[in-house]
Structure 1
Amino acid sequence: MPGSLLPVAEGSRPVTARLSKGAGVPGGGPDVLGLGLHVGPGGGLGGPWDLALSSSGIGTATRCLPLPATGWGRARYGSLLPYRVGRRLVWLLAVPHGEPLAPASLGLLEQRVRDRPWRLALLAGPGSGRWRPVAALVLHTVLPVSEAGRVSFDPVLNRPPEWTPAPGWLTRARESAYRGSRRGRRAPERG
């Protein structure tokens, strides 16, 4: 997108997405829904970029709160914390297009994506003010479990260098948590 806030070149590129339920509520019960995105290196990025988004509010006071959602298409998936880009703070938000996709069942969502693509708009916004569209996401392929299990997401290591998660004290806590996660899955310390 011309004049985009994102540090990637214009055009289409493959992205891997992982959808999850935060509390693991069985079936289609309401839960904090997660959307992880992995953008591979190239196209303006030095390395990969992993985004961790959760169902959240979209207002100035609620965008940092993970909120349960009753359906995949009803949720708004926010970064919960901003990135510091230069002298400004930038929040990210993915908003689904089309029908509401209820209930919040991973199995039903997988079947829906097998039948037809699921489209979302990726928006960026300041701490207060309007959200701007910066990218379109189209989820259209479900990976086999054997392949999906090999994809790991690490938003602490895998990010553009000029995009620093904020605030600093919480970023340090997240870094410690992800370091433990990498040890647990025996992943390298560099993305």
Structure 2
Amino acid sequence: MSVPTPSTVAARAGEALTHAAEVLTRLRRARLLHPAGRSFAGEVTIWGTGGPPTGVPLLDEPGRYPATIRLSKGMPTPGSWPDVLGLAVRVHTEGDRPFDLLVSSSGAPPVLRSVPLPRRRFAGTYSTIVPLHGGRGRLWLAALADPDSPGLGRSLAEAAAATRVDEPRLVLATASAVGPWRPFGQVSIGTQLSARQDAVLAFDPIHNLPDGLRATGVLAWLRDHTYRGSRRARGASVQSGGSLGVTV
């Protein structure tokens, strides 16, 4: 009897995890992760990183891109109760695929930027939790509160209401494991999309990354197969939502 190779074992484990995520998503009848959310059209403006470049052209070079943005609650808890809040930003670049940035509510200091933290308010620190690998080593990405921006409130309903009277913003930043956050751009949140558009939108935080940035490691592997199973159960693809994330 032949002994399975490590690659075969990994492939079988990955398919088992994908299938489990698919079953759980069907039972939940919604996204497996962060099922409650609101989606918006918006814009991402890149200023470029101050100081040493990251080695990722999209982060280092100034630019302006249309974006699709989703605010969400992880559990989800009712109304304005504390929850691990989520922010997903699809940056519609000119390449073959968009850049999907998914970040969760966390702390700003180095010791807390890798820890998902429940929070009430939608304006605050969100980080990638796990590091990504760029041209110059490991880095974290984050969306930080903009002190000059209108608030986003304590619930999804309040966040949606805020976009009807103004255009809330969050600051994009990057950091090493122990260094300070370095702002490199901003996310502007605009018009709310319909519930139907929100339902079909699907993100891929592992494969929809810009040139020079990659996700590796056990947590990336787990995330990859979990999201894949959830998308499969929903009949969604990584491009669901159309080229600009606003049409089916």
TM-score range, shorter chain: 0.7 to 0.9
Q: Percent identity?
A: 35
CA distance in structure 2 between the aligned counterparts of 1:114 and 1:37, rounded to whole angstroms: 19
Equivalent residue number for residue 176 of structure 1: 225
Point out which structure has higher relative CO (alpha carbons under 8 A, 6+ apart): 2
The equivalent position to 1:90 in structure 2, one of 139, 155, 172, is 139
Q: Which residue of 2 aligns with 1:48?
A: 98
Question: Structure 2 CA distance, aligned partners of 1:31 and 1:109?
Answer: 15
Give the aligned length: 187
SS in 1 for 2:218: helix
Sort the Cα spacing of 1:88 and 1:99 in 2 relative to 1 into closer, same or farther, 3 A: same
Q: Supply the AA of the counterpart residue of 2:157.
A: G
Report 1:8-47 matches (<5 A).
8=58, 9-42=61-94, 45-47=95-97
- AA at the equivalent of 1:134: F
- Paired with 1:99 and 1:28, the residues of 2 have a C-alpha distance of 20
Residue of structure 2 aligned with 1:138, choices 159, 165, 188: 188
**Bigger share in helix:** 2
Which aligned pairs between 1:94-109 and structure 2 lie closer than 5 A? 94-97=143-146, 98=148, 101=151, 103-109=153-159
Letter of the aligned partner of 1:34 in structure 2?
G
1-structure distance, mates of 2:86, 2:234: 20
Paired residue type of 2:186 = A
Mean Cα displacement is larger for which, 47-56 or 138-147?
138-147
TM-score by length of 2: 0.69
What's the CA shift string for 1:72-95, capped at 9, x where partnerless? 12x211110111113411101111
Equivalent positions of 1:54-93 (< 5 A) are 54-73=104-123, 75-93=124-142
Q: Distance in 2 between matches of 1:109 and 1:184?
A: 28
TM-superposed deviation, 1:161: 4.5
Letter paired with 1:54: S
Q: Provide the C-alpha distance between the structure 2 equivalents of 1:27 and 1:179, rounded to a whole number of angstroms.
A: 29
Deviation of 1:99 after TM superposition, in Å, equals 6.2
Give 1 or 2 for the bigger CA radius of gyration. 2
> Which amino acid is 1:90 matched to?
L
The amino acid of 2:89's aligned partner reads: L
Unpaired runs of 5+ residues, structure 2, are: 1-46, 241-248
Matched residue of 1:59: which SS? Answer: coil
Q: CA RMSD in A?
A: 2.2
Counterpart CA distance in 2 for 1:100 and 1:16 is 19
Paired residue for 2:43?
A: none
Given residue 210 of structure 2, which amino acid in structure 1 is its aligned partner?
P
Q: Greater shift after overlay, 94-103 or 63-72?
A: 94-103
Mapped to 2, the partners of 1:176 and 1:119 lie a distance apart of: 31
